[in-house]
Homo-oligomer: A and B are copies of this chain.
Amino acid sequence: MNDDNSYMRLAMEEAKIAQGKDEVPIGAVLIDNESGEVLSKAHNLTRTRHDPSAHAESLAIREACTLRESQRIPNTTLYVTIEPCPMCAALISYARIDRVVFGATDPKSGGITAAPKLYEKDQIHHKPNVISGVMEEDCRALIQRFFQSKRK
């Protein structure tokens, strides 16, 4: 099992915590690229916190920025179970994160491979490396089961 898979497993654990709170099950983990240390872990909390910006990625980024006392956190990798939305994709760029690894694409709400394709825009100066498809089926199954249970 490579490192990407093991960090994605941590992100999936976060997604499951969100599910337990009846939040959309998306989880994120931010790590330091040199030490491999986990800087922050977070899950979606938009309902619980009454905060539409409280996506897993955003919470993980804010926590790591607080830790490093900077609005920029270079030399980090963000693991997230589902493709970041346009809000989070922009934030990832502003925070100067080097690498984004996500599980499943999100054709409906994604901001990277889906329609806004934010990192293809010239005005986004910092473009992180993007890896997709890590534990893709597991990540997608988690969120699909959640929405299927809502439709019953």
Contact = CB atoms under 8 A, between A and B. Distances in A.
Interface of A: 46-47, 49-54, 58, 61-62, 65-66, 68-72, 85-91, 94-95, 108-111, 114-116, 118, 121-124
Contact of A51 (B71, B90, B111, B122): B71
A118 B117 CA distance: 10
Contacts of A61: 52-53
Contact of A85 (B85, B88, B90): B90
Given A53-B91, A53-B94, A86-B116, 18 more contacts: A50-B65, A51-B66, A51-B71, A52-B71, A52-B95, A53-B53, A85-B90, A86-B86, A86-B90, A86-B111, A86-B118, A90-B111, A110-B123, A114-B123, A115-B121, A115-B122, A116-B118, A116-B123
The 5 closest A-B CB pairs, nearest first, are A87-B90, A52-B94, A86-B90, A52-B71, A52-B95
A94 B124 CA distance: 21
Copies of this chain assembled into the complex: 2
A36 to B, nearest CB: 23
A28 B72 CA distance: 23
12 contacts: A47-B71, A50-B68, A51-B65, A52-B61, A52-B71, A53-B94, A86-B86, A86-B89, A90-B90, A90-B111, A108-B123, A116-B116
A50 to B, nearest CB: 5
